[in-house]
Amino acid sequence: MAADAIVCERLTKAYGKHRGIEDIDLRVTPGEAFGFLGPNGAGKSTTIRTLMGFLRPTGGQAKIFGHDCWREAVAVARQVGNLPGDFVYDEQMTGWEVIRHVARLRGHDDLDHARELAERLQADMDRPLRHLSRGNHQKVGLVQAMFHRPELLLLDEPTGGLDPLMQETFLDLVGEARQRGATVFLSSHNLDEVHRVCERVGIIREGRLIAVENIGDLIRGALRHVRVVLGTPADPAPFAALPGAQDVRADGASVTLRLAGDVAPLVRLVADLDVVDLEIGRASLEEVFLSYYGRT
């Protein structure tokens, strides 16, 4: 049986009095795209640095494709393409010098895919990094993470500094990597890109993993925004009595509310009313995310 792409068992990294991560339990299967959600400072980057073997765990363990991330960091590095959230290199080097240097370290001679990536990302690879914008700096980082077609992509805030067109190109590249069987672990606070790429998400708060959910279940369980316009002045009481109804407000002939759970009781209610207009919209993924923070 093939090893899981990522396994964390009670993974902990403490920084003295400062918060790191604590008791992270997580499994990511080969070929899966997993999103890692949380605001800045929640522990996303610490988790990825520990997975890469840059930080020694204070407790627990982490493995990538069966290799211990600390004791077998070299074996892990062979299978991983990593874009750190603070991607830095010698600022005197050009993008191509960075790629050739990384390729030598990896023993990887073929740069054809690197050239393709640089062209599609419209990356400025010929100027020293110190002269590049944040977006172009990020593009060099993406090329070095992806050019060797790794089995696992560990990407920390990968679209930071990219314009909307390049964000779309990045999402295309991730989709193509997945088609060839690569696993993707994408850390972000951009909830839309996680929604578009990933099947499952983990939500991290103050160094602790507070939820792991399928994206579909997360969306289906979200509150709905409801607006009903009637042909007569609205009575909010029947709407407030609906199971899962919250924040019911009436204004003339209009009623607005948020609704959790099944919409069937709402449909039955409005079927007997003089309805002029009915709008039902799902909460944004950001609202779902904040709801997890609120109830924990």
Q: pLDDT per residue over 120-162, tens digit each?
A: 999 999 999 999 999 999 999 999 999 999 999 999 999 988 9
Query: Residue 87: how many CB atoms within 10 A of its CB?
Result: 20
Q: Closest Cα partner for 279 from 225, 223, 219?
A: 225
pLDDT given for residue 215 in this prediction: 85
- Whole-angstrom CA distances from 193 to 10, 70, 160, 170, 229 are 28, 30, 12, 10, 34
Q: How confident is the model at residue 199 (pLDDT cuts 50, 70, 90)?
A: very high
pLDDT given for residue 296 in this prediction: 52
**Is the domain defined by 6-219 classed in CATH 3.90.76.10?**
no
Q: How confident is the model at residue 295 (pLDDT cuts 50, 70, 90)?
A: low
Q: How confident is the model at residue 173 (pLDDT cuts 50, 70, 90)?
A: very high
**Topology of domain 222-295, per CATH?**
Alpha-Beta Plaits (3.30.70)
Q: Closest Cα partner for 143 from 181, 171, 111, 104?
A: 111
Write the pLDDT tens digit of every residue in 49-98: 999 999 999 999 999 999 999 999 999 999 999 999 888 888 999 999 99
Q: Are 69 and 78 in contact (CB under 8 A)?
A: no
pLDDT given for residue 96 in this prediction: 96
Residues of the chain with pLDDT > 70, as a percent, come to 95
Q: Closest Cα partner for 157 from 55, 293, 292, 45?
A: 45
Strands 208-214 and 254-259: unpaired
Distance, in Å, from the CA atom of 29 to the CA atom of 175, rounded to the nearest integer, reads 17
Q: Are 64 and 152 in contact (CB under 8 A)?
A: yes
Amino acid identity, residue 160?
G
CA dihedral 106, 110, 116, 117 (to 10 degrees): 0
What are the residue ranges spanned by the domains of the chain?
6-219, 222-295
